[in-house]
Amino acid sequence: MTLALNREELTDYLAEVFPQIRDDFAIDDLTENTITMRLLTDDRHLRPGGTVSGPSMFALADVAVYAMVLARVGKKALAVTTNCSLDFMRKPEAGRDVIAHCRLLKLGRVLAVGDVLMVSDGGDKPVARATLTYSIPPR
């Protein structure tokens, strides 16, 4: 299996179809079955108490799986989330990016399933874990 989009092509395509999040996420690494993405944490991602908000971590997990699916199937902007299960385990460390390690578990004709483990940048303890299912439009 090979990638349909490399890291640069994927970054450019995400910026094209979702310009509103262009400055929120970065791809650190991409392989045939994994992607490492980073939430470039800013004040807008924080909740009271100074920790990264749940919706921001959901967005990171969602974008990571979306990007992994696109990397494999190509420019399918209409791939959509059909299910998500997200466990929050501990507060992310203040002032640090959140890193998502995403692994594609299944890539079928119409559905893809990905698993995401999130950690604070520089940390090794999980702050959240998510499993997402995506529906892929007909090829």
**Which ranges of 3-112 does DSSP label H, i.e. alpha helix?**
7-17, 54-73
> Do 139 and 97 meet the contact criterion of CB atoms below 8 Å apart?
no
* 43: DSSP letter: G
**Which ranges of 18-130 does DSSP label H, i.e. alpha helix?**
54-73
Flag whether pLDDT at 1 surpasses 80. Answer: no
> Do 37 and 26 meet the contact criterion of CB atoms below 8 Å apart?
yes
Query: pLDDT value at position 76?
Result: 87
Query: pLDDT value at position 63?
Result: 97
| Long-range contact pairs involving 125-128 (C-beta distance under 8 Å, separation at least 24) | 125/89, 125/90, 126/89, 126/90, 127/52, 127/57, 127/88, 127/89, 127/90, 127/91, 127/92, 127/98, 128/57, 128/61, 128/86, 128/87, 128/88, 128/89
Which of 52, 51, 30, 10 has its CA nearest to residue 101?
30
- Kindly list the domain boundaries of the chain, sorted by start residue: 7-135
Query: pLDDT value at position 77?
Result: 82
Mean pLDDT of 133-137: 94
Mean pLDDT of 80-105: 95
- pLDDT averaged over the chain? 95
Flag whether pLDDT at 86 surpasses 90. Answer: yes
Flag whether pLDDT at 131 surpasses 70. Answer: yes
> Hey, what amino acid is at 138?
P
> Do 37 and 102 meet the contact criterion of CB atoms below 8 Å apart?
yes
- Tell me the C-alpha distance between 121 and 94, whole Å: 10
Q: Which CATH number fits domain 7-135: 3.40.50.2300, 3.10.129.10, 3.30.428.10, 3.40.50.1980?
A: 3.10.129.10
pLDDT tens string 58-74: 999 999 999 999 999 99
pLDDT-derived band at 139, boundaries 50, 70, 90: low
pLDDT-derived band at 8, boundaries 50, 70, 90: very high
Query: pLDDT value at position 94?
Result: 78
Looking at per-residue pLDDT, the higher value among 31 and 50 belongs to 31
